[in-house]
Each structure stands twice: as C-alpha cells, then as structure tokens.
Amino acid sequence: MSPLAALSQPFVPEALPSPRRHPPVAMPSLEWTPEVQAATAHLYDRVKTVIPPVEWPFFAPYVKAINELKRVRNAVILAHNYQTPEIYNCVADVVGDSFQLAREATKTDADVIVQCGVHFMAETSKILNPDKTVLIPDSRAGCSLATSITAADVRELRRRHPGVPVAVYVNTTAEVKAEADICLTSGNAVQVVESLESPEVMVLPDQYLAMWIASQTKVKIISWHGACEVHERFTAGELRAYREADPGIVILAHPECPPDVLAEADFTGSTAKLADYVKLRKPKKVVMVTECSMADNVMAEAPETEFVKPCNLCPHMKRITLPKILESLVHMRDEVIVDPAVAERARASVERMVNLKI
Ligand code: 13P
Ligand code: SF4
C-alpha cells in the first residue's frame, strides 16, 4: 500500500480493542413521548426538587436510553458525588466518594464500567479490573491534582527522603500510583498514614490535604505543592460572612480546602462523610464547602435541610453529561487503557488501601 493510501485508511489503534469486542449499536430515539414519560416518572420523582418540570423532557429520553443500553452492554455506571443530579440519581448504579467508587470497582461482575467522574477515577477502575472494558464519557475530564505531580517527581522525592514511605492521593495518574507504597483518599487519609507505622510519611500531591492530615496525627508529614483548583478558591472570609449572616448555620468542608478555610468549618470530611453528616444529623441550615453539585445531590435526600450553595464548579467533572454517556455506550468510547506493567504496580498501591481493615 502506498504511504498516501495508508493515510486514507481509518486509523484503528491497537490499544482500542473495545469497539471490536462490542460493536456500535444504533443511536436510540431521543423523542419525548408519553411512553418515555411513563418509563421515567419514578426517576423524576428523585430529582423533582432540583430539576424543574420544564427541563425533564430534555433529560428523560437520555435517561431511558442509557438505562436500556446498560442492560444490552452488561454495563455498570459508577458516578462520583460531584456528578449532576440527573446522572447521580437517574442513571448511576453506584454513587460515592473516591474511596467508595474504588472499592465498588473491585466488586462488579459487569463486563463494562462507565466511569462518570474524572480520568484518575476511571484509571483506578481499570487498574482494579484489567480484564474489563472501562469507559469514560469524556477523556479530557482531568484534575489539577493529578497533573501536579509526575512519576519522576516521586522518584526524586524518594531520593531526597530515603526510607520514608510514600502515600499518594487517589487523585493521581497510574504512573504516580505505581511509584507509591499505598494510596489514600480523603475518606481514609489519617488511618492510611497511621497504618504505615512510620514516624514520617510523604503525602502527595495535595498540600492542603497533607496539612489537614498533619493536624490530625502525630506522624510527621512531608508534602508536595499540588492543589485542587476548585477547593483552593474558597476563602475564610466567605465562610465568616455565612456565619455572620446566620450564626446557626453548619459549615461542612472538604479537606482539599486551605487550612484557614477549614479552621472556620464545623466538620471536615470526604464528600461521602459530608453527605452522611447532613443525612444523619439533619441540620436546619448548612453550607457545603465543596463542589457545587454535591449540595444538589444531598438536597434531593434531605428535604428538611436548607442549603446555602457557594457555586464552585469542577470544570472537569462537568464534562460528563447524559448525551456523552449515551454516546459512550453506543460507540464504546473513550476506552481507558493503562500499560499493564504500570497497572500491576499501581494496583499494589490501590489494593493495599482497599484491603486495609479501617
Ligand atoms: P472525595 O474522595 O472526597 O470524593 O474527593 C474527590 C475529589 O476529587 C474531591 O475534589
Ligand atoms: Fe480534581 Fe478538584 Fe475537580 Fe476534585 S474538584 S476532580 S480534586 S479538580
């Protein structure tokens, strides 16, 4: 074949076996019909407090089509707490914080995992399920923490701090996880650090999560300069203003926030722990100092609580939409591929975390 003829051939990368194993199916009809209305009425009930009736006819045909296609593909949808309410409540099979999603990824017997979250979460699912097809509806959904550190940085830190164990946040690439001794998430950070039984631990790459862990333990923490672009935007002044406006307000914050912000909070925890706080303690009025969709999702299950919503959106999480999830299941893309040698080493770090009895 001439070089020019070769260029006109469709490019099918060897690393994308999935469309061959699961041929594309026809795009389902996306009309709003009485049948669609009836089939999705029970799901609209879950989101009626956050999605106005006039918007539902745009979402419902996608919801029905995605739920039907999940059965055809034997697929499961794992959705992070920051996904929008129509994804979180109407098409997800499993919802949760990063730790819960990683744990559930080890349990599924579906052939296909569709990760509604950001790329490192999908990579974690692939690392734990090397034989399954893992899809992310938009592979550009990144994370400022995951891009803040490289595998070479971790090797250099090990050279500078010989013998100090390395715990990396799950918000990292597979290559970085492969260099670590163990992973941690905001839901288990302190317990993971203490499980290493070392006077010093490197906690990478989130400087603020590292500072928060240091405030909760006697272990000396060595950190990196990464930060979450969403949580570092909150300020202590903004939180004081909420408190001045209503001294009874309960302030809940994610540990990716800077320390002066956490100092104003009544409770700090992972996204799942913040949600549990509201569902169990039922505060009258709350502000969730974290990504914006969290409040919408918790609100749907806590109608008696009033929410003040500081709207800091994660632009990466918001790349995932119902139309992209449907496209993903129709065309089986974007498939997440991790180099098997890297995946094997990264898996050891993730499994050490998942298997800890905490
Ligand atoms: P959680 O593990 O608390 O869900 O946090 C993940 C994340 O990306 C927060 O920004
Ligand atoms: Fe990453 Fe921050 Fe977005 Fe979470 S909220 S995915 S840490 S950029």
Domain ranges of the chain: 3-141+317-331, 146-228, 231-308
Ligand 1 in reach of 271 Cβ (< 6 A): yes
- pLDDT at residue 24, rounded to an integer: 81
- pLDDT at residue 11, rounded to an integer: 36
Q: Is residue 252 within a helix (H) or strand (E), and if so which, with residue range?
A: strand 250-253
3-class secondary structure per residue, 40-60: HHHHHHHHCCCCCCCCHHHHH
- pLDDT at residue 310, rounded to an integer: 86
Q: Looking at the DSSP assignment, which residues form a beta bridge with residue 133?
A: 112
Could you give the C-alpha distances from 124 to 17, 30, 111, 288, in angstroms and in order?
19, 32, 16, 26
Could you give the C-alpha distances from 13 to 1, 6, 9, in angstroms and in order?
18, 14, 12
pLDDT tens-place values along the chain, 358 residues long: 333 343 333 333 344 445 557 888 889 999 999 999 999 999 999 999 889 999 999 999 999 999 999 999 999 999 999 999 999 999 999 999 998 998 898 899 999 999 999 999 999 999 999 999 999 999 999 999 999 999 999 999 999 999 999 999 999 999 999 999 999 999 999 999 999 999 999 999 999 999 999 999 999 999 999 999 999 999 999 999 999 999 999 999 999 999 999 999 999 999 999 999 999 999 999 999 999 999 999 988 898 999 998 889 999 999 999 999 999 999 999 999 999 999 999 999 999 999 998 7
Residue from 81, 144, 168, 288 whose mutation best tests the ligand 2 pocket (most atoms within 8 A of CB): 144
Q: Which two tokens stand for residue 139?
A: 């592979």
- pLDDT at residue 19, rounded to an integer: 54
Query: What is the atom index within ligand 2 of the atom nearest the CA of 290?
Result: 5
Q: Relative to the alpha carbon of 145, which ligand is closest?
A: 2
DSSP 180-225: -SEEE-TTTHHHHHHHT--SEEEEESBHHHHHHHHTT-SSEEE---
The single-letter code of the amino acid at 179 is E
CATH fold, domain 231-308, is Rossmann fold (3.40.50)
Residue listed under structure tokens 């090990």? 158
Measure the CA–CA gap between 165 and 167, rounded to whole angstroms: 7
CA 351 to chain centroid: 18
Radius of gyration of the chain (CA): 21
- pLDDT at residue 91, rounded to an integer: 98
Please name the CATH architecture into which domain 3-141+317-331 falls: 3-Layer(aba) Sandwich (3.40)
CATH superfamily entry for domain 146-228: NadA-like (3.40.50.10800)
- pLDDT at residue 18, rounded to an integer: 55
| Single pTM value for the model | 0.91
Measure the CA–CA gap between 43 and 48, rounded to whole angstroms: 9
Q: Relative to the alpha carbon of 206, which ligand is closest?
A: 2
- pLDDT at residue 309, rounded to an integer: 87
Residue listed under structure tokens 């299950």? 301
Q: Relative to the alpha carbon of 316, which ligand is closest?
A: 2
Do the first three CATH levels of 3-141+317-331 and 231-308 match, i.e. the same topology?
Answer: yes
Which sign does the torsion angle of CA 252, 313, 298, 326 carry? Answer: negative
- pLDDT at residue 20, rounded to an integer: 57
Ligand 2 in reach of 291 Cβ (< 6 A): yes
Ligand 2 in reach of 118 Cβ (< 6 A): yes
